Structure 1
Amino acid sequence: MRIYLTLFLVAIFCACAKSEDFAKDSVETTFTNPVWDGADPWMVKQREDYVYCFSSDNGIAVSSSKLMTKRTAAKFIWKAPSTGWNSNCIWAPEIHFIDGHWYVYYAAGVSGPPFIHQRAGVLRSVDDNVYSEYEDMGMLNTGDNPEDSSKNIWAIDMTVLEHNKKLYAIWSGWLKQVDTDATSQHLFIQEMENPYTLKGQRILLSSPEESWETGGPLDLNEGPQVLKHDDEVFIIYSCRESWLKEYRQGMLQLEVPEADPLDPESWIKTGPVFEGNDSVYGVGHVSFVKSPDGTEDWIIYHSKKTTEPGWDRDVRMQPFTWNADGTPDFGEAVQAGKHLKRPSGEVEIEQNQINQ
């Protein structure tokens, strides 16, 4: 009887050990790019969750996951109305958590192509739940006349800078409203009265003027994203043509933390700071997050699937470091299929999820 009992206990122990080993082995410690299809990737870390926001089927969807490299099923938080200024062409939404609410900044137009009607709009969640209902807070006045929204001017890719207890909107727009979308794009900045209202005047922050951000059929500055490190403030933005393999990233750096963000002279332009290569084409429209344990910095970006002109793109991610002078070093865009170590702390999180 003792022999049978001993064998039984040994069998249980072996089964448990195999189960634990299988759980560990089932969690990959590496991943490869691309991580999924899509464009204009916006990922933000809120507490322990990675919130991913994107446009789809003329609406805006979000997903929330503990893992950077693996998305959960997305849910629609907003669908474009059947009529009105924002009934079509929903582009590049971003979601930001400000003062207890989620705010989604997006571009939309009444029709297109031609894409001459794009304007910036904002949604606000009713509470701090990212999947809650959202109220349409309307169109933001990105023109030169704050008192007359009928004089509004084309705007896309709005993001938000929080600096020295003030909010600033930064976006890509036209100098004036015209009737062709073959129009050069510039970066503008404006102070915000609150997360859904601009105040004062828009300020021209950056124009495509340098040799590395010009030279193609249409000069663009777009997709501005805020990156902070210690006391340094950066705006990483996309330039050249979004549909070509030459699409790349430039950088504006606030000269000193005390400088006025509304003064264009406060910003130092450098570039390109991140671009494609022989195997990665047209890197653009980035966002930035920390690894699950907070020890690593990661850049999320899209790239073209081929060298042919067009907008067929996928989403990629890779870690980056910092130079001795405090500026980011994004390194080389990593080719598809090359194994990268998963973000620090992510493997342990997935192991815990499996073993629960």
Structure 2
Amino acid sequence: MSRFFKGMKLRILVVLFLCSWSMANCSTPDDGSIPDEVKTTFQNPLWDGADPWLVKQGDEYIYCYSANNGIVLSRSKFMTKQGELKQIWRAPETGWNKACIWAPEIHFIDGHWYVYYAAGQSGPPFIHQRTGVLRSKSDDVFSEYEDMGILNTGDVSDDLSKNIWAIDMTVFQHNNKLYAVWSGWLEQKDTDASAQHLFIQEMENPYTLKGNRVLLSSPEENWETGGPLNLNEGPEVLQNGDHVFIVYSCRESWLKEYRQGMLQLNSPDADPLNPDNWTKKGPVFEGNSTVYGVGHCSFVKSPDNTEDWIIYHSKKTTEPGWDRNVRMQPFEWNPDGSPDFGQAIPAGKVINRPSGEVEIEENQTTQ
């Protein structure tokens, strides 16, 4: 045998030995410790995006967002990692909702998933935005969805021709009633440089509003005004036992001053449709010297249900614009039952993964 083939044989044996050693040492340790590849921490930001909506159903996390003029869902066992993806809906080629798909969020109500989203005929200017609803055909979040139509967010309940601009709708149940909350205009305008307010209305069912809309909040406090356009938008409901809060975004979404205010229902028995029954506080969460323009959040429990987390977006730079990414961090509760969101955590700072998440990944790795 030539020196060349002897050398080749030796090199092959060395490679095989190293591969065997590597595989043996990458297997699960006998002492039950976490394998090296399962990280116990993460850092913000998590991924690019805006208006993050994350909801927990059973032991799964459903992430909902708009992409390619449609709506996409992710289903995952983890808060910090997106999982299986599916586009559940794409805007039609014609009609009121053919463009400008904004800020969808998904809710599980009475055995079906409902997606609330804003859309319009065209833009900019974004003067056509209205709110639509999709409904799943089964309790499977990845089932087919049917278009339940447009919601009448105007003041004339039986006349859609008088419908009024509306975005960022969310829904919540309280005292056996279903309510919708959204950001809208007082009247229809021909410019999108218009002040935005928060409205609330009872729902007859998850795709039909009942009665009349009620003006709940306007940008009036010094911490929610002062820029070129005063906004109240992105309302999200946070419930803690009998306590009900609406955390919303204010100031300008394209500026670093974008921040979070809060409405608190004064008592569990108070009528949510009476604006006098809500107390405004703020800002309850805002940016700092390293985190810019925090806004449009959602709230979920950790996998083991022992922690509360806020998921939000922030601007990538201090320059005006909508280039944003998604972050999350845990928060606590004050003695009076109100949330304490703390300070926005800078990018790159190590954060422990949500409680129970490491164990889930460890079990997947060892199976």
Bucket of the pairwise TM-score, normalised by the shorter protein: over 0.9
1:92 aligns with 103
Q: Give the superposition deviation at 1:18.
A: 5.4
Q: Give the superposition deviation at 1:216.
A: 0.1
Distance in 2 separating the partners of 1:110 and 1:43: 27
1:116-265 matches, within 5 Å, as 116-265=127-276
- In structure 2, do the counterparts of structure 1 residues 23 and 329 end up closer, same or farther at CA, with 3 Å as the change threshold? closer
**2:131 partner letter:** A
Distance in 1 separating the partners of 2:169 and 2:349: 33
Instruction: Say which SS state the counterpart of residue 161 (structure 2) adopts.
Output: helix
Is 1:315 the counterpart of 2:323? The answer is: no
Is 1:39 the counterpart of 2:47? The answer is: no
> In structure 2, which of residues 64, 69, 81 is the aligned counterpart of residue 53 of structure 1?
64
Instruction: Note the alpha carbon deviations across 1:328-352, whole angstroms, 9 max, x for none.
Output: 0000000000000000000000011
**1:202 partner letter:** R
Distance in 2 separating the partners of 1:95 and 1:289: 13
Partners of 2:313 and 2:324 within 8 A in 1: yes
* Structure 1 runs of 4+ with >6 Å offset: 14-17
Distance in 2 separating the partners of 1:18 and 1:173: 55
Distance in 1 separating the partners of 2:107 and 2:366: 32
Structure 2 unpaired stretches of 5+: 1-19
Is 1:304 the counterpart of 2:315? The answer is: yes
**1:278 partner letter:** S
Distance in 2 separating the partners of 1:66 and 1:154: 36
Partners of 2:76 and 2:84 within 8 A in 1: no
Q: Give the superposition deviation at 1:164.
A: 0.4
Q: Give the superposition deviation at 1:228.
A: 0.5
Is 1:19 the counterpart of 2:30? The answer is: no
> In structure 1, which of residues 107, 112, 122 is the aligned counterpart of residue 118 of structure 2?
107
Instruction: Say which SS state the counterpart of residue 191 (structure 1) adopts.
Output: strand
1:7 aligns with none
Instruction: Say which SS state the counterpart of residue 212 (structure 1) adopts.
Output: coil
Q: Which has the larger radius of gyration?
A: 2
Instruction: Say which SS state the counterpart of residue 365 (structure 2) adopts.
Output: helix
Instruction: Note the alpha carbon deviations across 1:270-320, whole angstroms, 9 max, x for none.
Output: 000000000000000000000000000000000000000000000000000
- In structure 2, do the counterparts of structure 1 residues 15 and 310 end up closer, same or farther at CA, with 3 Å as the change threshold? closer
2:3 aligns with none
Q: Give the superposition deviation at 1:323.
A: 0.6
Instruction: Say which SS state the counterpart of residue 92 (structure 1) adopts.
Output: strand
Moved more, 72-81 or 208-217: 72-81
Q: What percentage of aligned pairs have identical amino acids?
A: 74
Partners of 1:23 and 1:354 within 8 A in 2: no
Partners of 1:41 and 1:301 within 8 A in 2: yes
Q: Give the superposition deviation at 1:73.
A: 3.7
Q: Give the superposition deviation at 1:24.
A: 1.7
Distance in 2 separating the partners of 1:166 and 1:306: 42
- TM-score, with length taken from structure 1: 0.95
Partners of 1:23 and 1:355 within 8 A in 2: no
> In structure 2, which of residues 16, 24, 39 is the aligned counterpart of residue 28 of structure 1?
39
Distance in 2 separating the partners of 1:123 and 1:94: 10
Aligned residues: 345
Distance in 1 separating the partners of 2:213 and 2:168: 15
- TM-score, with length taken from structure 2: 0.92
1:267 aligns with 278
Structure 1 unpaired stretches of 5+: 1-11
Q: Give the superposition deviation at 1:16.
A: 6.5
Q: Give the superposition deviation at 1:17.
A: 7.4
Q: Give the superposition deviation at 1:52.
A: 0.1
**1:86 partner letter:** N
Is 1:334 the counterpart of 2:358? The answer is: no
